[in-house]
Structure 1
Amino acid sequence: MSRGECMIFVDDSNLWIEAQKFATSGNSHMPKLQDSDRDPRLRIDIGKLVESLRRKHRTQGPSFLYDSRPPPNDSVWESFARNNTETNIYDRDHSGKENEVDNSISVGMTRNATELRVEAKYNPKAAEKKDKTSFIVVTGDRDIMPAVKSVLECNIRVELWGWKSGIANEFLDLAANDDLLSVHWLDLVFNDICFTAYRSTRRVKGVDGGKTMVLRDVSESDEDAICDQLLNTRQLFWKTRLDRDADLCIEFPKVSQIERLIIEARKLLPGITILSWPEYRGPFFDNDHTDAMKAVNTYELLDVTFSAKNEYDDEPQRISTSTSYPSISHKKWTLTV
């Protein structure tokens, strides 16, 4: 039996950025990353998120997502739309701030609360509906505080959902003094709604041999289990495959000494042959020592300097042999002798 209706308001940037921070922090779900304060591989299952927010027994009412570009997050926005959520996307200002997003969330919450209050004043059924309606607000940003107070003044319950590290203390103080407001930690449903995408959707050609190890004869069905074990290295990494065979490349973009990680990986995965890039390339590459790679999957944090041309350039790249390995670049590049 339904326990009422919930209206959902999601600050998408706040949701994802704080989730990426939580994923690196060291918790019961994942080891702490030592080389990054955000994990860009972190993904959220939107359907499971909405289900968790509804708490199964409530009906999902009008729901709204608020986000900004750059960068574009079409797949995320489409996923919210498939879960009966209206998407509201705005361009960042020249300084990269999301002022329009915060303002839009506040206006949306206040407008819907006011409509419910006015209808309830003259219509008993509308009054009953208002009493059974909850506003679910996914954010921790204190800029939304005035809107939350406006909804509470309409005698409408508010559930604030966010990552514990990202919720402003002012919300906790307000919840302690107003029974209509409750605060909920997304940390507690992390395993239910989040997963790690070891292969990114970004496409960049090339591989940095000084930061790459190769795992021989790995089936695709074993990839995620292997990557789960490699989380214990506590280093950010991604995976890709060569065109020619079933060998799996693991690239660690921020390491300076891949040899130490290779030794550690061999201990974590004793049944798999693990080679450095020079060890692998010598016996298995043809005479001209070049080979075309499939798209190497790399990750980048949300950034206002995002360039669609650099992110999605599909021009083929070549990789040549080298005994020295330059630092990785987010633009297309090749290894040179």
Structure 2
Amino acid sequence: MPTSTRARSYAEALLKDIDQGTPSTPSPKARLVLRRRSHRTPSSMFPPLPSPNNKNSKGEDKRRMCVYIDHSNFWISRKMATRDENWRYDVKALESILTSNPLDGETTNDPDTKVHVYGYVPNDLKPIWKNQGARVHKLKKPHPLDNEGKKTKHKRRGKKKNLEKEVDTALVAESVAEAARALREGLKDTHIEFVIVTGDRDMRPAVKKIIDCGYKVNVWSWKGVLSKAYRDLEQKRAGRLKVHLLDEHKEKFVTASKVPIRPGIGQLNGQWR
């Protein structure tokens, strides 16, 4: 009797899988199939499933780094300070510096990084940033620096001012929107951190809004163009905002002006840096 019951159970289970008629007795082949299905496959044969809540396989928090670069401010400021029209930098090295110095001082291995680049970017650097997975936001119109010498100084100034306002608006809106999404998803400040590269006071509203959402912000800027507003806000919102100076790390990412380089990480074949 037990044998008959067991056979019936095998048949019923088999029917659910193949959706065919009920055999009177299970065949040896059916038993073989069922034995194979019930065999436990070693878990080592499959990669671990992704963990929820931004945690890695060890259960540790995997931090998301959201980087927003006001590239016009970043690039043009050094150009004016050094009078070097063609200064270049290592994209991979810069990204590493920006994401490996979180506000709490705890370095994170392999953070989930999202980079957004706004404003003027030299044409030879755009594909390199894209190759790194960054989103390079397009301006509605070509930047005056792309057509140096083709416009009068007066016209160039007016056009540049309008384009930079476009950059400011886009960066502020999109960084605050990302903070709002993170808040809606219930992400803690240990799961996500923001990096804004600018010295421009106009980005201050974005920094304040992100902090108000409960997240930490790192502001990176060249010392010569850093607005005092960020230092004041850093004192008022201690533990939520940290100001970093790019000057203190320039040896790690600033390179010679447009010299040919050997292709490597963060560069493209045949490009100049």
| TM, length-normalised to structure 2 | 0.60
Q: CA deviation at 1:54?
A: 1.5
The answer to whether the 8 A contact 1:54-1:60 is kept is: no
Residue 158 to residue 19, structure 1, CA distance change in 2 (3 Å): same
Shift in CA distance, 82/117, structure 1 to aligned 2, threshold 3 Å: same
Q: Identity rate of aligned residues, in percent?
A: 24
Kindly provide the CA deviation profile for residues 232-265 of structure 1, in whole angstroms up to 9, marking residues without a partner as x: xxxxxxxxxxxxxxxxxxxxxxxxxxxxxxxxxx
Q: 1:84 aligns with which of 125, 128, 133?
A: 133
Question: Is the Cα–Cα contact under 8 Å of residues 102 and 144 in structure 1 kept in the other structure?
Answer: yes
- State the Cα deviation string for residues 162-192 of structure 1 (Å, max 9, x = none): 1111110000000011120000000011110
Question: 1:61 aligns to what?
Answer: 113
Deviations 1:75-109 (A, max 9, x none): 21111111121010212596121111110000111
Query: Are residues 1:190 and 2:229 paired?
Result: no
In the TM superposition, what is the alpha-carbon distance from 1:43 to its structure 2 partner?
Answer: 0.9
Counterpart position of 1:168: 227
Which whole-Å CA distance do the structure 2 matches of 1:199 and 1:53 have between them?
24
**Among candidates 174, 195, 199, match of residue 140 of structure 1:** 199
Shift of 1:20: 2.4
Equivalence map 1:117-266=2 (5 Å): 117-120=183-186, 127-128=187-188, 130-178=189-237, 179-197=239-257
**Match among 62, 78, 90 for residue 45 of structure 1:** 90
Which structure is higher in RCO with an 8 Å CA cutoff and minimum separation 6?
Answer: 2
Amino acid at match of 1:57: T
1:74 to 103, 119, 123: 123
Greater strand content: 1
Consecutive unaligned residues in structure 2, runs of 5 or more: 1-59, 101-106, 145-154, 261-273
Instruction: List runs of 5+ in structure 1 lacking aligned partners.
Output: 25-37, 121-126, 201-337
TM-superposed deviation, 1:73: 2.3
Q: Which amino acid aligns with 1:194?
A: V
**C-alpha contact 2:199 2:220 (8 A) present in aligned 1:** yes
1:280-310, Cα deviation, whole Å (9 max, x unpaired): xxxxxxxxxxxxxxxxxxxxxxxxxxxxxxx
Give the structure with the larger helix fraction. 2
Distance across 2 between alignment mates of 1:198 and 1:112: 35
Q: Report the alpha carbon displacement of residue 13 of structure 1 after superposing the two structures with TM.
A: 1.0
SS of 1:134 mapped into structure 2: strand
**Partner residue, 2:180:** 114
Deviation, structure 1 residue 198: 6.0
Which amino acid counterpart does residue 250 of structure 2 have in structure 1?
A: F
Q: What do the CA deviations read for 1:20-77 (whole angstroms, capped 9, x no partner)?
A: 244x3xxxxxxxxxxxxx2113211111100111216351422200014xxx722211
1:89 counterpart SS class: coil
- Offset at 1:199? 5.3
* Letter aligned with residue 252 of structure 2: D
Over 6 Å off, 4+ runs: none
CA deviation vs aligned residue, 1:204-247 (integer Å, no higher than 9, x gap): xxxxxxxxxxxxxxxxxxxxxxxxxxxxxxxxxxxxxxxxxxxx
